[in-house]
Structure 1
Amino acid sequence: METAQRIARIWNLSGTPAKQKLCILVQSKPYYDSPEKSLVMITHNTLTGTYWFRHLTCIAVLITITLVITNISLNAQNATCLEGLDEFIEKGMADWGIPGLAVSVVKDGEIIYAKGFGVRKLGDTAPVDEHTVFGVASTTKAMTVTALGMLVDEGKVSWDDRVRDHLPWFELSDPWASDVVTVRDLLSHRVGIGRMTGNRLVFMPNRDRKTILDHVRHQPFEIPFRSGYLYSNMMYMVAGLVIEAAAGISWDQFLPERLFKPLGMNSASVSITSICEHDNAAWPHQEINGTIQTIPWRNFDNVGPAASVNASAMDMASWMLLNLGDQGEYKGERLVSRQVMNDIFQPQYAFPSADPMHSNFTAYALGWNSGFYEDHRIFQHGGATDGINSIIVLAPSLDMGIFVAGNLFCQLRPAIVSHILDRALDIERDHDWHELFHKQYMAEKETLFEARKKIEEARVTGTVPSLKPEAYTGMYHDPVYDDLEVRISNDGNLELCFWGDPDMVATLEHWHFDTFLASWRNPAMREKFVTFDIDHEGRASRLNVIFTLRPDMIEVGLFPSGYTRTVSYERQSNQLQYKQ
Structure 2
Amino acid sequence: MNTWGLAMRVSFVRRGALALAATLLLISTAPPLQAQTVPLTLGAFPPEDVVPLARGGTERALADLPAAIDSVMQRSGVPGAAVAVVHGGKTVFARGFGVREQGKPALIDTDTVFQLASLSKPIAATVVAAQVTAGVVKWDDKVVQLLPGFALSDAYVSANVTVGDLFSHRSGLPHAGGDTLEDIGFDRAAILERLRQLPLAPFRISYAYSNFGLTTGAEAVARASGQSWEDLSRKALYGPLGMTSTSSRYQYLLTRENRALLHSLEAGRFTPLYQRDPDPQSPAGGVSSSVTDVAEWMKLVLANGRHEGRELIAPAALLPALRAQAFSSPAPTIGARSSFYGFGFNVSVDANGRPDLSHSGAFGTGAGTFVRFLPSADIAIVVLTNGAPVGAAEAIASHFMDIVQYGAPTRDWYELFHPRLMAFNDPAGDLAGKTAPATPAAARPLADYVGTYENSFFGPARITQGQDGLVLALGPGTLSMPLTHWDGDIFAVAPRSENAPYGSLSSVRFVVKAGKAAELKIDYLDAEGLATWTR
Which TM bucket (shorter chain)?
Answer: 0.7 to 0.9
Which shifted more, 432-441 or 236-245? Answer: 432-441
Q: 1:457 deviation in Å?
A: 4.7
The question of 1:399 aligning with 2:378 is answered: yes
Quickly say closer, same or farther: Cα 1:434–1:245, change in 2 above 3 A. Answer: closer
5 Å matches for 1:223-234?
223-234=201-212
Query: What whole-Å deviation, never above 9, does each CA across 1:318-345 have from its counterpart, x for those lacking one?
Result: 1111100x31011112111011112221
Q: Residue in 2 aligned with 1:16?
A: none
The question of 1:365 aligning with 2:367 is answered: no
Code of the aligned partner of 1:545? I
For 1:205 and 1:455, how far apart are their aligned partners in 2?
A: 20
Is contact 2:178-2:195 (8 Å) kept? Answer: no
The question of 1:389 aligning with 2:352 is answered: no
Q: 1:216 deviation in Å?
A: 2.1
Q: Percent identity among equivalent residues?
A: 29
For 1:209 and 1:440, how far apart are their aligned partners in 2?
A: 31
5 Å matches for 1:325-336?
326-336=303-313
Query: What whole-Å deviation, never above 9, does each CA across 1:131-183 have from its counterpart, x for those lacking one?
Result: 11111111211222222222222222122221111123111122222112111
Q: What's the secondary structure of 2:530's corresponding residue? A: strand
Is contact 1:272-1:297 (8 Å) kept? Answer: no
Q: 1:401 deviation in Å?
A: 0.6
Q: 1:231 deviation in Å?
A: 0.9
Q: Residue in 2 aligned with 1:497?
A: 473
For 2:232 and 2:507, how far apart are their aligned partners in 1?
A: 41
Quickly say closer, same or farther: Cα 1:292–1:346, change in 2 above 3 A. Answer: closer
Code of the aligned partner of 2:382? F
Q: What's the secondary structure of 2:190's corresponding residue? A: helix
Is contact 2:453-2:460 (8 Å) kept? Answer: yes
For 2:251 and 2:357, how far apart are their aligned partners in 1?
A: 30
For 2:493 and 2:117, how far apart are their aligned partners in 1?
A: 26
Q: What's the secondary structure of 2:109's corresponding residue? A: coil
The question of 1:263 aligning with 2:241 is answered: yes
Quickly say closer, same or farther: Cα 1:213–1:431, change in 2 above 3 A. Answer: closer
Code of the aligned partner of 1:369? N
Quickly say closer, same or farther: Cα 1:245–1:125, change in 2 above 3 A. Answer: same
In our comparison, the structure showing a higher alpha carbon Rg is 1
For 1:85 and 1:522, how far apart are their aligned partners in 2?
A: 34
For 1:544 and 1:440, how far apart are their aligned partners in 2?
A: 31
Code of the aligned partner of 2:488? F
CA RMSD, 1 decimal: 2.8
Which shifted more, 405-414 or 109-118? Answer: 405-414
Q: 1:128 deviation in Å?
A: 0.7
Q: What's the secondary structure of 2:209's corresponding residue? A: coil
The question of 1:349 aligning with 2:326 is answered: yes
Q: What's the secondary structure of 1:149's corresponding residue? A: helix
- Selected match of 1:241 from 219, 222, 244: 219
The question of 1:569 aligning with 2:532 is answered: yes
- Selected match of 1:541 from 511, 518, 521: 518
Quickly say closer, same or farther: Cα 1:496–1:275, change in 2 above 3 A. Answer: same
Code of the aligned partner of 1:469? L
For 1:445 and 1:322, how far apart are their aligned partners in 2?
A: 32
Q: What's the secondary structure of 1:425's corresponding residue? A: helix
Q: 1:117 deviation in Å?
A: 0.6
Quickly say closer, same or farther: Cα 1:140–1:257, change in 2 above 3 A. Answer: same
Q: 1:355 deviation in Å?
A: 3.9
5 Å matches for 1:479-498?
479-489=456-466, 491-498=467-474
For 1:566 and 1:273, how far apart are their aligned partners in 2?
A: 34
Is contact 1:474-1:571 (8 Å) kept? Answer: no
For 1:154 and 1:544, how far apart are their aligned partners in 2?
A: 49
5 Å matches for 1:295-306?
295-306=273-284
The question of 1:131 aligning with 2:111 is answered: yes
Q: Residue in 2 aligned with 1:42?
A: none
The question of 1:109 aligning with 2:108 is answered: no
For 2:142 and 2:424, how far apart are their aligned partners in 1?
A: 44
Quickly say closer, same or farther: Cα 1:438–1:165, change in 2 above 3 A. Answer: closer
Quickly say closer, same or farther: Cα 1:250–1:419, change in 2 above 3 A. Answer: same
Q: 1:119 deviation in Å?
A: 0.4
Q: Residue in 2 aligned with 1:466?
A: 443
For 1:565 and 1:295, how far apart are their aligned partners in 2?
A: 29
Q: 1:298 deviation in Å?
A: 0.6
For 1:192 and 1:280, how far apart are their aligned partners in 2?
A: 40
Is contact 1:138-1:307 (8 Å) kept? Answer: yes
Code of the aligned partner of 1:115? R
Task: Give runs of ≥4 in structure 1 deviating > 6 Å.
Answer: 439-442, 451-455, 521-524
- Selected match of 2:495 from 520, 531, 540: 520
Q: What's the secondary structure of 2:347's corresponding residue? A: strand
Q: 1:274 deviation in Å?
A: 1.4
Query: What whole-Å deviation, never above 9, does each CA across 1:463-519 have from its counterpart, x for those lacking one?
Result: 145322222122122111112212234x423222111312x2222222223222212
- Selected match of 2:136 from 141, 145, 156: 156
Is contact 1:484-1:496 (8 Å) kept? Answer: yes
Query: What whole-Å deviation, never above 9, does each CA across 1:31-61 have from its counterpart, x for those lacking one?
Result: xxxxxxxxxxxxxxxxxxxxxxxxxxxxxxx
Code of the aligned partner of 1:177? V
Q: 1:544 deviation in Å?
A: 0.8
For 1:160 and 1:439, how far apart are their aligned partners in 2?
A: 39
Is contact 1:476-1:484 (8 Å) kept? Answer: yes
Quickly say closer, same or farther: Cα 1:522–1:379, change in 2 above 3 A. Answer: closer
Code of the aligned partner of 2:398? S
Q: What's the secondary structure of 2:402's corresponding residue? A: helix
Q: What's the secondary structure of 2:523's corresponding residue? A: strand
For 1:135 and 1:525, how far apart are their aligned partners in 2?
A: 18
5 Å matches for 1:434-445?
434-438=414-418
**TM-score normalized by the length of structure 2:** 0.82
Quickly say closer, same or farther: Cα 1:298–1:332, change in 2 above 3 A. Answer: same
Quickly say closer, same or farther: Cα 1:517–1:288, change in 2 above 3 A. Answer: farther
The question of 1:165 aligning with 2:128 is answered: no
Q: What's the secondary structure of 1:241's corresponding residue? A: helix
Is contact 1:145-1:187 (8 Å) kept? Answer: yes
Which shifted more, 415-424 or 283-292? Answer: 283-292
Q: 1:420 deviation in Å?
A: 0.6
- Selected match of 2:177 from 179, 183, 196: 196
Code of the aligned partner of 1:532? R
Code of the aligned partner of 1:381? H
- Selected match of 2:193 from 196, 209, 214: 214
Code of the aligned partner of 1:470? A
Quickly say closer, same or farther: Cα 1:288–1:197, change in 2 above 3 A. Answer: farther
Is contact 1:106-1:112 (8 Å) kept? Answer: yes
Q: What's the secondary structure of 1:366's corresponding residue? A: coil
Q: What's the secondary structure of 2:514's corresponding residue? A: coil
For 2:431 and 2:147, how far apart are their aligned partners in 1?
A: 48
**TM-score normalized by the length of structure 1:** 0.76
Which structure has more RCO (C-alpha within 8 Å, separation ≥ 6)? 2
Q: 1:548 deviation in Å?
A: 6.0
Code of the aligned partner of 1:372? V
For 1:310 and 1:398, how far apart are their aligned partners in 2?
A: 28
For 1:96 and 1:305, how far apart are their aligned partners in 2?
A: 29
